[in-house]
Amino acid sequence: MLPSRDPRDRVPARFQPTRLIVHYNEIALKGRNRRWFEDILARNMRLALGSGSGFKVEKLYGRLAVGVGPGADWRCAAARLARVFGIAYMVPVVIAEPTLEALEAAAAEAVEGERAGGREPPTFGVRCKRATKDYPFTSADVQCRVGARIQAAAGWRVHLDAPDVPVVVEDLNMLAFLGFGRVEGPGGLPTGASGRVACLLSGGIDSPVAAYQILRRGATAVYVHFHSFPHTGIESQEKARDLAEMVQPPGHRSRLWKVPFAELQRRIVTEAPAALRVVLYRRFMVRTAEAIARREGALALVTGENLGQVASQTLENLHTIDGAVSMPVLRPLIGLDKREIIDLARRIGTYEASIEPHGDCCSFLMPPNPATRSRPEDLAAAETAWDVAAEVDRLVESSAVEQVGACEAGILAEIQRKD
């Protein structure tokens, strides 16, 4: 086995785990509410894996475990669980008796046939965590004995600081778990622990990252996309759907509202001062998103706005935009620079889709010199040209709504091993 960039492949070729041990971070700090968060996380893991998939989720002390049934592909399961909010990381393991001899034997069996021949062998390091000190050996004893057995059987080189293959031994509930590799999860809080939000999704780089960041805090979401079709193409609508699918937690379904905005934009162009045009767009957008949010039972709006990034995102303009609604407007990216946002987009997998060209409704009919320091009274005066409530109702009622999120049949097809 050669070192790989994919942690799921950093295991011996013949290693067949019978469990995935799932670790969390923040949930451990929840005190008396910890069990409630664990229950939500376990439910979300079952939803991500799908019923009848050959995997069984159970709770252990301070961890969760996924039993890998016969014929089930643990790598595909780990890939799905790596998108479940609340999971810090996972380790594929086998169960052994909590004795030095049993752990040595399990390690030797796992690395059988791993000698690299003429290739440079990978590095490894053994770490042992014990839930109890009742055993007649220490963590250092386990690390030395298991490490020596792996080195003798496979010829791997020891590197404790940054090994190619991390080897983990955990003693828990009078059982020992021996694992190879580590699959990182997104961390945060489990989906459903923090209420519902409405995410404005433009199709650009920022808004899906903002949605992901708030979903990572345990929220569920409905998505709202404003488009200028037929004056622009349908690409933005397709991108919004694809991006919503990318950030949506696996096993969960939601809705995407596609709001036709072109007609109102044209009337704003002809009836309002050019400098206020962009802020007027945004005020009507947040009002419409608020109306949709109330229908969907959401308690806040989420946008990808970032302080000072463009003309509409000065502090004065954000204040004026927020004044159009009574619902909180959350901006998870408010203090990040563009490079940080791009790095996050790359990490969560939305960047490549976001940079595909599309007709953006916010850039459609953009004025040459937008206002950077608007005042609420100026916008209120400009909006007397419309029946604002009627315009918002029209936008909501003319919206198309579609479902996002994978169906269970697709989940089963993905995680079951093909013959």
- Tens of pLDDT, residue by residue over 70-124, are 777 888 899 999 999 999 999 999 999 999 999 999 999 999 888 766 678 889 9
Pick from 184, 210, 240: which residue ends a domain?
A: 184
Q: Dihedral sign for Cα 138, 139, 143, 144, please.
A: negative
Q: How far apart are CA 385 and CA 358, in angstroms?
A: 31
| Together in a domain, 346 and 373 | yes
* Phi, psi angle pair for 70, to nearest 5°: -60, 135
Tokens of 101: 């001899």
Q: Which residue has the tokens 């459903």?
A: 192
HEC-encoded secondary structure of 157-173: EECCCCCCEEEEEEEEC
| Together in a domain, 312 and 377 | yes
Instruction: Please check whether residue 417 lies inside any domain of the structure.
Output: no
Mean pLDDT, the chain, as a whole number? 87
Q: What is the CATH number of the domain that holds 294?
A: 3.40.50.620
Q: Which residue has the tokens 């940054």?
A: 162
Give the bridge partners for 86, in sequence order: none
pLDDT tens digits along 177-210: 999 988 999 999 999 999 999 999 998 999 999 9
Instruction: Please check whether residue 87 lies inside any domain of the structure.
Output: yes
Instruction: Please check whether residue 419 lies inside any domain of the structure.
Output: no
Pick from 184, 213, 233: which residue ends a domain?
A: 184
| Together in a domain, 317 and 399 | yes
| Together in a domain, 212 and 145 | no
Residue 119: the pLDDT is: 72
Give the bridge partners for 330, in sequence order: 302
Q: How far apart are CA 73 and CA 17, in angstroms?
A: 10
Domain carrying residue 150? 7-184
Tokens of 82: 């790596």
Residue 65: the pLDDT is: 92
How does residue 47 score in pLDDT terms, banded at 50, 70 and 90? Answer: very high
| Together in a domain, 348 and 368 | yes
Helix (H) or strand (E) holding 91: strand 89-96
Q: Which residue has the tokens 């475990």?
A: 65
| Together in a domain, 395 and 259 | yes
Burial class (CB in 10 A: 0-12, 13-18, 19+), 32: exposed
Axis-axis angle for helices 74-81, 34-49 (nearest 10): 130
Instruction: Please check whether residue 191 lies inside any domain of the structure.
Output: no
| Together in a domain, 149 and 205 | no
Say what the pTM is. Answer: 0.87
Pick from 150, 184, 218: which residue ends a domain?
A: 184
Select, from the ranges 116-130, 288-302, 349-363, the one with the highest average predicted confidence (pLDDT).
288-302
How does residue 416 score in pLDDT terms, banded at 50, 70 and 90? Answer: very low
Using CA atoms, how far residue 270 sits from 138, 276, 382, in Å, is 78, 12, 12
Instruction: Please check whether residue 190 lies inside any domain of the structure.
Output: no
- DSSP-derived letter for residue 416 is B
| Together in a domain, 268 and 320 | yes
Residue 374: the pLDDT is: 86
Name every residue whose Cβ is closer than 8 Å to that of residue 397 and which is 6 or more positions away in sequence: none
Domains contained in the chain, number: 2
How does residue 394 score in pLDDT terms, banded at 50, 70 and 90? Answer: very high
Of residues 148, 145, 150, the one with CA closest to residue 135? 145
Using CA atoms, how far residue 246 sits from 162, 226, 240, 348, in Å, is 31, 19, 10, 8
Is the predicted pLDDT of residue 409 greater than 50, yes or no? no
Q: What's the rounded mean pLDDT across residues 136-148? A: 93
Instruction: Please check whether residue 418 lies inside any domain of the structure.
Output: no
Q: What is the CATH number of the domain that holds 79?
A: 3.30.2130.30
Instruction: Please check whether residue 77 lies inside any domain of the structure.
Output: yes
| Together in a domain, 161 and 277 | no
Residue 117: the pLDDT is: 62
Q: How far apart are CA 147 and CA 139, in angstroms?
A: 12
Helix (H) or strand (E) holding 292: helix 277-296
Q: What stretches of 99-195 adopt beta strand conformation (E)?
A: 123-130, 157-158, 165-172, 175-180, 183-184
Instruction: Please check whether residue 247 lies inside any domain of the structure.
Output: yes
| Together in a domain, 85 and 53 | yes
Of residues 318, 314, 311, 320, the one with CA closest to residue 381? 320
| Together in a domain, 254 and 342 | yes
| Together in a domain, 287 and 387 | yes
CB 81 within 8 A of CB 184: no
CB 33 within 8 A of CB 90: no
CB 332 within 8 A of CB 302: yes
